[in-house]
Chain A
């Protein structure tokens, strides 16, 4: 199977007074098409930092990230932006919808950035899939947290990404709403065959993925493979 994400001895240090603060040290792992992976660990262990580096949002101090065969280290900001636009989807803990755009427009953003002029139909379709077919022209301020996150999910999938990064997507939601979002996430993921990297504090949720990467103090404490068949996940999630 082709590798979607290859992370090789990734280290991130922040310069701080006196000496550098190393928040990520020698992290190495590989994900293949369709893999689902949970990143867990205590607060401050470097989960978000790792996610940012994998998506090319930040540059590592050392080490290498290959995303869909492209070495991010060799690219400048703009080129990385294009890689993201082409291959990557995001779901954030605090939704990050653009407040001045309607739900529909928010979903269309990644497609429009790609120059796709026919983004409307798939966007409407996706909003329908997340159950917001009647909220197309509503602005984020008119939506509840759970609805916002559903819009964010639709936005994440509009470009049919090969890999989806989700940083605590249910962190700001109540358990019930969170569960709905997770179910949707897995559904969409499975039907699109997308690789999923999910940062979470929820061990139950982590167990529903194919692999758990445990971080502690910036280092990989354990790397646990639960299943190799992502299809099984869907069954369990749907159950």
Chain B
């Protein structure tokens, strides 16, 4: 027997059968175009980014090698630096107040004082350009452009750092080693080292000392770095080479673009669900055709092949269109991320990423389309004789369906893992998505069941009809629920988290709490500073002494000893400098976790009972009763962990890893922090100016500064995330439009019937309006509820803060999304009523 239904037949049948639906198919597939575009854009950009980082690695460091310490280099290190030779530059960085006399602007900045020709690779970009070279020639400063803008400063103005006045020689546009976002944290001012106010580097102040090398003798700098590292670690001097810097940036930036890729992936998944739903409806409309083909002898698989061919063509088209669009979007991304990138990323097409995008797009689309498509195999030819109903059970029993579910779950997880910065993140992402999708789908089912079970038979006809449309055959409830719900969920979660975080910072300066902090106060300046504060009519809420120290030994083993032991895990916590205080009480930001807080040094004891913060205790591996020997600026001091505290770090106040009882550190070299509360910005500015004027080495930071920095940084991050989320939201709109158009096709017949039976246009439109009103309301409500739950979970588990719910925003979102749904639904029903009944009735096969 000859076999019919070969490849040729499948292809020609697929082509012919798509007649009249091609435009519709393209609309469906456009749902995944954006997702593919997002993936291709992000991944192709990522490849370019890595290349740029690799190529410009030397400009990232600006030198071949750098050494760094948080104190001036000791003599033996200086000797080593001398012996290394090459060209050298010095840099000292520290926080200080900058004062702009002309506009009376005052704020905390990062001062970077330079000597030498650094950077050797790349350049400091300034406006005017020559300032980058000439500022070292005298008392000149280069000031970050954001800072210039903030204080309305101009080139030629003065800026005071410490007791010295500098002329602003130019504004800083771009510097090696730093992404632009760094200046949001703390704007930079470049100065010459020569002539620096030395009181700014007084004991207790934090400063970074760096030396940069450039070697012209072609020595192996990476090897040199490896050799220097262990030797210099002992002196707490860090070693950076080009390779190291490159690896660090690579890792960080890869995480960044991969994270964005995950956001884009969501849009692809949503689009695919849209495609699946469209295919589902499409296949239903083809059941009769399939039955007739089967009647005349088409075998099951070739018939399935006809529709698979259509799905694959659709997927291919979408994937290619998406890639093309993605390459266009790629141009935008470097601009989007400009603040976070240390290098310029040129545009170039990464064909690997395009192939990956096409592959993923096609794969995901076909996988999702297969779910409804495999039903084609099971269409009985009997349906040509009579429209029998198919029992659901039959469908569920199809083992291929379960295999597909497995493949889908596995495939999506695998793709997420491939895209995620870390595998666990990918798995978590897939699980999270499954939960959100699952919940939305569950609510959709629930609504259908409820609407059917508790059908309000007393409602007016139009309302009943509209409500019934939610659960009647061929309804769009599920897919609209997913599209609208996910969109509402994304927008709202982003918004609520942002609000919560901003509010948290705002709250930290609530009534009675300090909102202005002066630090780096030398003991002999303390009275002067508090005097000025009181003279300005402000309270001195707290005065906290700070003593800097390092750990010398822990549980009987010295740090040197631990360092030599390769099995001991030595962390930053072991070698860092600790700023500790002494007091006889816990603050309200602290809670005792273990032991008892001993406030006063017992007379008879020789070991000091100290309190340690919970997280650092874990890092150090110490517990209640363990001994820790501190090196308090040359003096060893043996302590015992007497209590463990939990600290709420978000408070606008000084918090400490170690606190000592009173009666031991009073005579150690120390400096002070003073907290006060200013009623408004003017009062805050005035007192800051007065204090800094009298004591230039004292720095101040106020809550509004922290808030503005926070808002700026969060704003930029949120902008990037929102840009990526936009793909999902637009996809949601396309899916929405697609679903609505699908239902238009389904409802036309019904409308004509209603019209024939005497329904007015008003009634027909109102039925549609009721249906979409319900859909929009339910979907948005679910999405918003999920968003509140999701943000709550984020706030509770990640940010450890109460969620700030904004009822106004929620209501607004509800109104907007519901309105949008209603609008699209009604817009789409335009003209349906005018369709001549005959045309529709005749269209039946």
Q: Which residues of A contact B (CB under 8 A)?
A: 48, 51-52, 55, 57-58, 77-78, 81-86, 88, 90, 92, 94-101, 105, 109-110, 112-115, 140-141, 148, 155, 167
- Interface residue? B384 (CB, 8 A): yes
Tell whether A100 pairs with B19 under 8 Å between CB atoms, given A92-B385, A113-B9: yes
Contact of A100 among B2, B289, B294, B380 (CB under 8 A): B289
Contact of A99 among B6, B384, B843 (CB under 8 A): B843
Q: Complex formed: what's the CA distance from A26 to B359 in Å?
A: 56
Q: Which residues of B contact A84 (CB under 8 A)?
A: 295-297, 381
Say yes or no: A140 contacts B845, CB within 8 Å.
yes
Q: Which residue of B lies closest to A70 (CB)?
A: B1
Q: Which residues of A contact B382 (CB under 8 A)?
A: 52, 57-58
Contact of B380 among A57, A82, A86, A113 (CB under 8 A): A57
Q: A57-B295, A99-B20, A114-B2 are in contact. List 14 more A-B contacts (CB 8 A).
A: A52-B382, A55-B295, A57-B382, A95-B845, A96-B291, A96-B295, A97-B845, A100-B18, A101-B17, A101-B19, A115-B6, A141-B839, A141-B842, A148-B845
Q: Complex formed: what's the CA distance from A48 to B298 in Å?
A: 21
**How many B residues touch A, CB cutoff 8 Å?**
39
Q: Complex formed: what's the CA distance from A98 to B299 in Å?
A: 17
Say yes or no: A115 contacts B2, CB within 8 Å.
yes
Q: Which residue of A lies closest to B17 (CB)?
A: A100
Q: Complex formed: what's the CA distance from A167 to B382 in Å?
A: 12
Say yes or no: A85 contacts B4, CB within 8 Å.
yes
Q: Which residues of A contact B293 (CB under 8 A)?
A: 98, 109, 113
With most chain A CB atoms within 10 A of its CB, the pick from B9, B13, B16, B385 is B385
Tell whether A94 pairs with B845 under 8 Å between CB atoms, given A85-B296, A113-B9: yes
Q: Which residues of B contact A90 (CB under 8 A)?
A: 295-296, 384
Q: Which residues of B contact A83 (CB under 8 A)?
A: 297
Say yes or no: A113 contacts B845, CB within 8 Å.
no
Q: List 26 A-B contacts (CB under 8 A).
A: A52-B385, A57-B295, A58-B380, A58-B382, A81-B297, A81-B381, A85-B298, A90-B295, A92-B385, A94-B844, A94-B845, A96-B295, A96-B845, A97-B292, A100-B16, A101-B19, A109-B293, A110-B296, A113-B297, A114-B2, A115-B2, A115-B3, A115-B4, A141-B839, A141-B842, A155-B296
Q: Complex formed: what's the CA distance from A141 to B842 in Å?
A: 6
Distance (whole angstroms) from the CB of B288 to the closest CB of chain A = 7
- A interface footprint on B821-845 (CB within 8 Å = 1, 0 otherwise): 0000000000000000001001111
Q: Complex formed: what's the CA distance from A78 to B384 in Å?
A: 16
- Interface residue? B762 (CB, 8 A): no
Task: Tell me if A's interface is mostly helix, strand, loop or mixed.
Answer: helix
Say yes or no: A82 contacts B299, CB within 8 Å.
yes
Distance (whole angstroms) from the CB of B748 to the closest CB of chain A = 13
Q: Complex formed: what's the CA distance from A94 to B4 in Å?
A: 26
- Interface residue? B685 (CB, 8 A): no
Q: Complex formed: what's the CA distance from A115 to B845 in Å?
A: 25
- Interface residue? B599 (CB, 8 A): no
Distance (whole angstroms) from the CB of A103 to the closest CB of chain B = 13
Tell whether A48 pairs with B20 under 8 Å between CB atoms, given A58-B380, A86-B1, A113-B5: no
- Interface residue? B300 (CB, 8 A): yes
Distance (whole angstroms) from the CB of B3 to the closest CB of chain A = 7
Distance (whole angstroms) from the CB of A175 to the closest CB of chain B = 21
Q: Which residue of B lies closest to A102 (CB)?
A: B16
Q: Which residue of B lies closest to A144 (CB)?
A: B842
Q: Which residue of B lies closest to A111 (CB)?
A: B4
Say yes or no: B20 contacts A57, CB within 8 Å.
no
Contact of B20 among A86, A97, A100, A105 (CB under 8 A): A100
Distance (whole angstroms) from the CB of B333 to the closest CB of chain A = 42
Contact of B298 among A88, A99, A113 (CB under 8 A): A113
Q: Which residues of B contact A155 (CB under 8 A)?
A: 296
Q: Which residues of B contact A96 (CB under 8 A)?
A: 288, 291-292, 295, 384, 845
Say yes or no: B843 contacts A141, CB within 8 Å.
yes
- Interface residue? B386 (CB, 8 A): yes
Distance (whole angstroms) from the CB of A126 to the closest CB of chain B = 14
Q: Complex formed: what's the CA distance from A92 to B839 in Å?
A: 22
Distance (whole angstroms) from the CB of B38 to the closest CB of chain A = 34
Q: Which residues of A contact B9 (CB under 8 A)?
A: 112-113, 115
In order of increasing CB-CB distance, the 8 nearest A-B pairs are: A85-B297, A113-B4, A78-B299, A110-B296, A57-B382, A100-B19, A57-B381, A84-B297
Q: Which residues of A contact B16 (CB under 8 A)?
A: 100-101, 105
Q: Complex formed: what's the CA distance from A86 to B301 in Å?
A: 18
Say yes or no: B385 contacts A81, CB within 8 Å.
no
Distance (whole angstroms) from the CB of A61 to the closest CB of chain B = 14
Q: Complex formed: what's the CA distance from A59 to B289 in Å?
A: 21
Q: Which residues of B contact A77 (CB under 8 A)?
A: 299-300
Q: Which residues of B contact A109 (CB under 8 A)?
A: 292-293, 296
Tell whether A57 pairs with B385 under 8 Å between CB atoms, given A96-B292, A112-B4, A141-B843: yes
Say yes or no: B4 contacts A82, CB within 8 Å.
yes
With most chain A CB atoms within 10 A of its CB, the pick from B288, B291, B297, B842 is B297
Q: Which residues of A contact B381 (CB under 8 A)?
A: 57, 81, 84
